[in-house]
Amino acid sequence: MYELIRANKRRSVLLIAGFVLVVALVGAAFGVLVGYGPQGTIAALLLSGVLAFVSYWKSDRIALAVSRAKPADPQRYQRLHNLVEGLCIASGLPKPAVYVIEDPAPNAFATGRNPKHAALAVTTGLLETMNRVELEGVIAHELSHVKNYDILVTTVAVTAVGAIALLSDLGLRFMWFGGGSDRRDRADSGGAGIILVILAFALLILAPFIALLMQFAVSRRRELLADASGVQLTRYPPGLIAALEKLKNDQAVVHHATRATAQMWIESPLDRGKGGGDGDGRASKGSWLNRAFDTHPPLDERIRILKEM
């Protein structure tokens, strides 16, 4: 278990470095296609640096804001705070900031750059659906993400994927609808210049897909490890098993979840079913696209593994 956690942390460092590298390459390609000589490339790289900085320092706040999470009142949500405090004492973690999301779909996520700067968010649907031991299992799962430093790479992925998509879109728009003379001169200058422009163009087209593939690499194994770490913390596997079974049976989706934030949640918050709704105005987990690019292992597989522990 501990060797898996150490390997997980090493992969986290590599993935973050990979996101920074892709952002920098997209920034350079942006500068090449927009033109304006070396100044344009330098400006684009500086913009990429700012986006990478924001990804590290502010991505948790962005993720909470996108999800419309609000601080959990200690009086109103006393049971939630008590469970978090008890599990933090058992695991040796500092207590994270606790948030609640007004949403009927049961779900939860953790975010932040390290255990000292972490936040835990749960939906009102989760609080209403889960009993005490089930809620404890979900919270233990999320605190395991904090302890295993999964939260850093998953939270950075949220803003990095968005930044890469933004730079790529702007670069392609500038290429078709504007841009400096430097880029046109480079394209007209012969073989090397044409190849550079083609490479930059190809990178801007492929970069968002590369970022998404990197994002998919973030979650699947980490979810299984967090499940195992969570039941090790509570010493009661049936609690998390029952919680995952309830999540499997509930077909509601989180209203303010996006594909960029999907890997943060305990189970995919997106529409993955076959229909467009469940008859009460809520979307169902149905589209084939979300199943094909799911960020989480199937709940049946996770339940089976926990039952075998």
Q: Tell me the CATH number at 111.
A: 3.30.2010.10
What is the pLDDT, as a whole number, of residue 45?
Answer: 66
Whether 30 and 107 share a structural domain:
no
Whether 191 and 172 share a structural domain:
yes
Reply yes or no on whether 142 is catalytic.
Answer: yes
- Cα 106-236-87 angle, rounded to 5 deg: 70
Whether 106 and 200 share a structural domain:
no
**Average pLDDT of the chain to the nearest whole number:** 79
What is the pLDDT, as a whole number, of residue 66?
Answer: 87
Mark which of 161, 193, 217 sits at the end of a domain. 217
Whether 161 and 230 share a structural domain:
no
Whether 137 and 247 share a structural domain:
yes
What is the pLDDT, as a whole number, of residue 235?
Answer: 93
What is the pLDDT, as a whole number, of residue 20?
Answer: 75
What is the pLDDT, as a whole number, of residue 75?
Answer: 95
What is the pLDDT, as a whole number, of residue 29?
Answer: 77
Domains: count for the chain: 2
Mark which of 184, 199, 217 sits at the end of a domain. 217
Whether 77 and 147 share a structural domain:
yes
How buried is residue 135: exposed, middle or buried, by Cβ count under 10 Å (0-12/13-18/19+)? buried
Whether 12 and 123 share a structural domain:
no
Cβ proximity of 45 and 24 under 8 Å: yes
Whether 7 and 142 share a structural domain:
no
Whether 27 and 143 share a structural domain:
no
Where in the sequence is the domain holding 9, given as residue range(s)?
2-64+153-217
Whether 160 and 288 share a structural domain:
no
The active-site residue, picked from 142, 223, 301, 308, is 142
What mean pLDDT do residues 32-39 have? 64
Q: What pTM value is reported for the model?
A: 0.75
Whether 138 and 232 share a structural domain:
yes
Taking only the tens place, the pLDDT of each residue in 93-111 is 999 999 999 999 999 999 9
What is the pLDDT, as a whole number, of residue 230?
Answer: 94
What is the pLDDT, as a whole number, of residue 280?
Answer: 44
pLDDT band for position 293 (cuts 50, 70, 90):
low
What is the pLDDT, as a whole number, of residue 39?
Answer: 65
Taking only the tens place, the pLDDT of each residue in 175-227 is 665 554 454 555 545 555 577 667 777 877 887 777 777 766 666 678 888 99
pLDDT band for position 292 (cuts 50, 70, 90):
very low
Whether 13 and 129 share a structural domain:
no
Mark which of 175, 192, 217 sits at the end of a domain. 217
Parallel, antiparallel, or unpaired: how do β-strands 70-71 and 108-114 relate? unpaired
Looking at 10-14, 75-79, 261-265, which range is the least confident one?
A: 10-14
Identify which of 130-134, 292-296, 304-308 has the greatest average pLDDT: 130-134
Tell me: pLDDT of 4 over 70: no
Give the integer Cα–Cα distance in Å for 196 and 84: 53
